[in-house]
Amino acid sequence: MKLPTLLGALAVVLLPVAHARAQGDAPDGASDDAAGAAVELDEDPPPEDMEGTAENPDAPKLIGDEDDAAAKLAPGVKRTGYPIEEVLRPLTLPAVTSEIALDAGSTFGNLDAEVGLRARYGITRQWQLGLRYGIGGIFDSVGDTTDKTSFNTGKAVGIDVSYLVFDWLAARVTVPFYVDPFATALTLGAPMKFRFGDKFAIVAVEDFLEIKLNRFVPSLTSEAANDALVQLDSTGSLTPDANLHLGGGVIYQLSPQLALRGDLGITFVDLSDADAPTNIRGLLQYSPSAKLDLFGSMFIDALDRATDTFGIRVGAAFRI
């Protein structure tokens, strides 16, 4: 055999063996450089919410988490309609809303049982028109020589206009007048209501100043008081030119339907501190719906004559 042919055959046999040996001596993985080469991956796109205000779509969630997240992001529900809670009610009625209230009360030291009627109408959210009428009372009239307790028909009527200046402040003007003999006055009020959450409120300065325009200042809550003023006027005696009322109270919402209110006030008769009775009142109100209120109260009109001026009052108000 020729030498070139022999060398070619030997090379064919030895080359695979040498290659296999070289593979065995190489470090692990060196033979797989091509197969094990690193693959470059494209970077993930940045999240849509860079500030983290929305939920991360890559974060794992538990069952029910979706509803919780939606509830947190959902806008708050705004209450509409007239509130059933006394604490949350505005100082004036909503537009095109009517209210009528009837109440009856009595003192027990000197019997004076009175019945009153009150009506309000919301012209707009800010403007309100009101009417008050003292139906009458059972008492012993000063001018009755028989000294007999009987029912005396009420002769006092009041018309008032209120304007809601702010949510916490209203301005009110009332014109009370007495039919026979004719007497009239002007009453100024500035009802205030400061709410703290949905449970507590402070109220103040309702009808604070009464100014006599003719004869005397008629009372819209007590026909017995009017009867006494009529007798003073008929004898030429002086009647107060003005009365100043200062006071305030608190309202606590026991439940959506039940509210408790307490008031404390002082009246400067004829703008003098020589005759300034202090009065207190506690009231419990139950509202089965936003359209109906039932209430009862205990009061003392003058603490220095508590035995004679202690009484109770009950009533109801209905809105449509």
CA distance 71 to 254: 29
Torsion sign over Cα 234, 236, 242, 244? negative
What's the half-sphere exposure (Cβ side, CA atoms, 13 Å) at 288?
5
* 237 contacts 229 by C-beta, under 8 angstroms: no
What's the half-sphere exposure (Cβ side, CA atoms, 13 Å) at 178?
29
Average pLDDT over every residue of 271-276: 91
pLDDT per position as a tens digit, 156-165: 999 999 999 9
* 245 contacts 204 by C-beta, under 8 angstroms: no
- The DSSP code for 242 is E
Task: Transcribe 83-149 into DSSP letters.
Answer: -SSTTT--SSPPTTEEEEEEEEEEETTTTEEEEEEEEEEESSSSEEEEEEEEEEEEEE-TT-TT--E
pLDDT per position as a tens digit, 251-263: 999 999 999 999 9
What pLDDT does 68 receive? 52
CA distance 124 to 59: 52
Q: Using alpha carbons only, how large is the chain's radius of gyration in Å?
A: 43
pTM more than 0.85: no
What pLDDT does 105 receive? 97
What pLDDT does 148 receive? 82
How many other β-carbons are positioned within 10 Å of the β-carbon of residue 299? 17
CA distance 105 to 114: 5
What pLDDT does 143 receive? 75
Residue 55's identity, in one-letter code, is: E
pLDDT per position as a tens digit, 96-154: 999 999 999 999 888 899 999 999 999 999 999 999 999 999 999 987 777 788 999 99
* Listed residue (184, 180, 139) closest to 158, CA to CA: 184
* Listed residue (245, 239, 180, 244) closest to 213, CA to CA: 239
The class that CATH gives domain 97-319 is mainly beta
More confident of the two residues 255 and 31? 255
Hey, where are the domains in the chain? Answer: 97-319
CA distance 244 to 269: 7
Average pLDDT over every residue of 273-296: 97
36 pLDDT higher than 80: no
pLDDT per position as a tens digit, 181-234: 999 999 999 999 999 999 999 999 899 999 999 999 999 999 999 999 999 999
CA distance 181 to 197: 48
Contacts 24+ apart (CB under 8 A), 108-112: 108/310, 108/311, 109/305, 109/307, 109/308, 109/309, 109/310, 110/139, 110/140, 110/308, 111/138, 111/139, 111/140, 111/149, 112/137, 112/138, 112/139, 112/222, 112/224, 112/311
CA distance 224 to 246: 23
Cβ neighbourhood burial of 285 (10 Å; 0-12, 13-18, 19+): buried
